[in-house]
Structure 1
Amino acid sequence: MDHHDRPEQGPACSVDLSHRVRRHCPVGRGPEAVVVDPGRRRAYVACSRSDAVVALDLDRGVAVWTAPVGREPIPVILDLPTRRLFTADARSDTVTVLDADTGSRLTQIPVGAYPAGLGHHPGLRRVYAGNTADGTVTAIDADRLVVVGTVPAELGAGSIAVDTRRDRGYSANFMAGSVTVFDADALTPLGTVAVREGPCKVVPDPAAGLLYVASSLHGTIGRVSLEDGTVLDELPVERAPVGMCVDPSGGRLYVCNRGAGTVSVLDTRAGRETHRITVGNAPGDCALDPATGTLLVSNAGSGTVSFVDRPWLPGPAQPAVHPLVGRSLPGFALPDLRGGRIRTSREWAEKKYVINFFASW
Structure 2
Amino acid sequence: MTHSLLAWVSMPAIDSSLRGDIAVYHMESEKLLGMIPVGIGPGYLACFPEGKKLYVPNRGSATLSVIDCDSFIVKRTIPVGKNPQALVIDSAGAKGYVAGPEEQLISVIDLHKDEVINTIPLNLYPSGLALSSDGKKLYVSHQAGCSISIIDTEHHQAADTFHLKDYPKNSPLSSPDLALSPVGLALSPDGTLLYLILSPENRVSVVDLGLRGEVASIPVGRNPQRIALHPSRPLAYVTNHDSDSISIISTYEHQVLATIPSLSAPRELTLTPEGSQLWVTNGCQLTLIDTETKAIISTLYAPLSVQTRQGVAISESHRQLLLSEVLPCNTQRPYSFVTEKLYFKPPKPFDLTIHHQFPIPAAIAEGLIFEEAEVKHHSISILPIPLRPNYHHLTFSLRIPYKIIYRDEQNQLHELKDAIHHVLSAVETHLTPSRIKQNFNLRIFTQSEVIGKSVPTPNSLDLIIRTQLVAMQQIHPTE
Q: Tell me the TM-score normalised to structure 2 length.
A: 0.58
Corresponding residue number in structure 2 for 1:358 = 445
SS at match of 1:117: strand
Unmatched 5+ stretches in structure 1: 1-9, 294-304, 308-318, 329-335
Q: Which residue of 2 aligns with 1:296?
A: none
Is the CA contact (8 Å cut-off) linking 1:21 and 1:306 kept in structure 2? Answer: no
1:115 matched to 2:140: no
Alpha-carbon spacing, 1:202–1:144, altered in 2? closer, same or farther (3 Å): same
Equivalent residue in structure 2 for 1:39, among 13, 29, 50: 50
Contact 2:132 2:187 in 1 (8 A): yes
Aligned pair 1:199/2:217, yes or no?
Answer: no
> Could you tell which deviates more after superposition, 72-81 or 13-22?
13-22
Alignment partners' CA distance in 1, 2:270 and 2:49: 16
The structure 1 segments of at least 4 consecutive aligned residues displaced by more than 6 Å after TM superposition are: 10-18, 319-322
For residues 273-288 of structure 1, what are the structure 2 equivalents within 5 Å? 273-279=296-302, 281-288=307-314
Tell me the equivalent position of 1:271: 294
SS at match of 2:233: coil
Q: Residues of 2 paired with 1:117 and 1:142: CA distance? A: 16
Distance apart, 1:346 and its partner CA: 6.4
Matches within 5 A, 1:42-81: 42-81=53-92
Relative to structure 1, is the Cα distance of residues 66 and 227 closer, same or farther in structure 2, using a 3 angstrom cutoff? Answer: same
- Of structures 1 and 2, the larger Rg is shown by 2
Matched residue, 2:456: none
Tell me if 1:86 matches 2:97: yes
- The residue type paired with residue 444 of structure 2 is F
Deviation at 1:169, TM superposition (A): 1.0
Find the residue that maps to 2:247 and give its secondary structure: strand
Residue type at the aligned position of 1:278:
Y
In the aligned structure 2, how far is the partner of 1:192 from the partner of 1:15? 37
Partner of 2:136 in structure 1?
A: 125
Q: Name the count of aligned residue pairs.
A: 318
Q: Take 1:103 and 1:199, find their aligned partners in 2: how far apart are those partners?
A: 33
Match of 1:171 in 2: 196
Q: Distance in 1 between matches of 2:149 and 2:159?
A: 8
Q: 3-state SS of the aligned residue for 2:310?
A: strand
Residue 13 of structure 1: CA displacement? 9.3
CA distance in 2, matches of 1:343, 1:247: 45
Question: Does 2:122 correspond to 1:96?
Answer: no
- The DSSP-based 3-state class of the residue aligned with 1:270 is coil
Taking only aligned residues, the RMSD between alpha carbons, in angstroms, comes to: 3.8
SS in 1 for 2:50: coil
1:262 to 257, 269, 285: 285
- The share of aligned pairs that are identical, in percent, is 20
CA contact (8 A) 1:112 1:131 kept: no
- Which piece of structure 1 moves more, 59-68 or 271-280? 271-280
In structure 1, the partner of 2:163 is 152
In structure 1, C-alpha distance between the alignment counterparts of 2:381 and 2:267, rounded to whole Å: 36
Aligned residue in 1 for 2:213: 188
Unaligned runs of 5+ in 2: 1-18, 165-176, 320-328, 332-336, 346-376, 386-391, 395-424, 429-441, 447-471, 474-479
Q: Is the 8 A contact 1:119 1:159 kept in 2?
A: no
Q: Which residue of 2 aligns with 1:28?
A: 39
Residue of structure 2 in register with 1:215 after alignment: 240
2:106 maps to a residue whose letter is: V
Q: Quick one: structure 1 residues 61 and 179, their matched pair in 2 at CA, closer, same or farther if it must change by over 3 Å?
A: same
Scaled by the length of structure 1, what TM-score is found? 0.76
Q: How does 1:299-314 map to 2 (within 5 A)?
A: none
* CA offsets 1:275-333 (integer angstroms, 9 cap, x no match): 1122552111111114569xxxxxxxxxxx999xxxxxxxxxxx9996x95599xxxxx
Quote how far apart the aligned CAs of 1:183 are: 2.4
Is the CA contact (8 Å cut-off) linking 1:171 and 1:181 kept in structure 2?
Answer: yes
Equivalent residue letter for 1:345: L
Query: What does the per-residue CA deviation read over 1:172-206, in whole Å, with 9 as the maximum and x for residues that have no partner?
Result: 01112111111245543322222222111011114
Q: CA deviation at 1:236?
A: 2.0
In the superposition, relative to structure 1, how do residues 112 and 11 fare at CA in structure 2: closer, same or farther (>3 Å)? closer
Residue 239 of structure 1: CA displacement? 2.2
Q: 2:255 aligns with which of 217, 230, 233?
A: 230
- Equivalents in 2 of 1:133, 1:195: separation in Å? 22
Q: For the structure 1 residues 26 and 195, does the alpha-carbon distance in structure 2 shift closer, same or farther, using more than 3 Å as the test?
A: same
Q: Distance in 2 between matches of 1:136 and 1:115?
A: 10
Q: Is the 8 A contact 1:111 1:129 kept in 2?
A: no
